[in-house]
Amino acid sequence: MDEVVLVETRGPDTFYLSFESGHIDRAIGLTGLVSLLLSLLATYLVTWLTYRTSKRLVAPVSWLAGVVSRWDPRESDVTAIKAGSLPRDAGVEVQQLAEALVGLTDRVAEFVQRERDFTRDASHELRTPLTVIRMATDMMLADPNTLPATSRSLARVQRAGRDMEAVIDAFLILAREADVGPQDREFDVGEVVRDQVERMQPLLADKPVSIELIDEGAPAVVGSPQVLAVMVGNLLSNAAHFTDLGRIQVRMTADEIEVRDSGIGMDSETLAKAFMPFYRADIAHEDRKGMGLAITHRLGARVGWPVSLRSQPGKGTTATIRLVR
């Protein structure tokens, strides 16, 4: 190792300083290492303090988001985010956001209630003229002097009236403030389906289409028979409208209800949109508004009886109601 000697003369005195150059290198290296460690430590401390501060500021927002995510859309409980219920570390911004959410929830609830009231009242009002139309057409069809052409027109009026009644029934169910659970009871699925098949018979009188009912063990389930009647009626009505020749087969098992027709069928694109409201793939059927399948699907999701479709163009469609018990 090299040795360095420093000599300095001041008057009669001479100063000698001898040292090794490696000590200087080690001193410089040690100083740099200590400086680097101190810099890293300072960076870590600043980062940790920033994280803690940010977490403390964001925690009330995360808590608020969690509370809102657990809300039931039909009955939102805003008690937890009202003034006095917020966490102690909630800042002014979080309090303002909570107040805005409470106000928004109140306005949404008022809007939904207004829409439900309108749907319920309008549906009840529509029932009266439909009842008059049905009774009048029944009397005219029973008259032996009614001309065949007139009878066919009256049958079309009855089909349209039946479709409208099914839509009204569905709207009344969907417009209820609570789920249909309070009206649930044990009922025979076969009885409901047989009634809907009988109601469908007159609508097929002027078509070369037969309807067949197969009972392979229809169960008794707990639910709303009115809901199931609307769902099955919509599926049968849809099958009757899109089947001009052949047959409609209704099969009941312990787990499902299957409505199979030999109608025009649907391709994959149409099948993907079949449950969309007002969607009509066959514009030739002007009397169809595209609501039947959408209402049936929504009712099924509401009560836990999911509806699925299988179809091929020219080979008919199979609709299945899964009776989840």
Parse the chain into domains and list their residue ranges.
3-69, 93-177, 184-325
Q: Mean pLDDT over residues 117-126, rounded?
A: 75
Please determine, for residue 282, whether its predicted confidence score (pLDDT) is greater than 60: no
* Paired strand residues for 5: 18
Residue 179 pLDDT exceeds 50: no
Q: Average of pLDDT values for 303-320?
A: 91
Q: Is the pLDDT of residue 177 over 60?
A: no
pTM: predicted TM-score of the whole model, two decimal places: 0.57
Six token digits for residue 91: 């800042």
Extract the tokens encoding 162.
Answer: 């039946």
Q: Tell me the average pLDDT across 250-267.
A: 92
Read off the pLDDT of residues 202-257 as tens digits, 9 standing for 90 and up. 778 778 888 999 999 999 999 888 889 889 988 998 898 888 889 999 999 999 99
What is the spatial distance between Cα 175 and Cα 116, in angstroms, rounded to a whole number?
5
pLDDT at residue 320 tops 90: yes
Confidence of residue 190 (pLDDT cuts 50, 70, 90): very high
Give the tens place of pLDDT for each residue, 59-71: 777 777 777 777 7
Fold of the domain spanning 184-325: Heat Shock Protein 90 (3.30.565)
State both tokens at 10: 């001041």
The CATH number that domain 93-177 falls under is 1.10.287
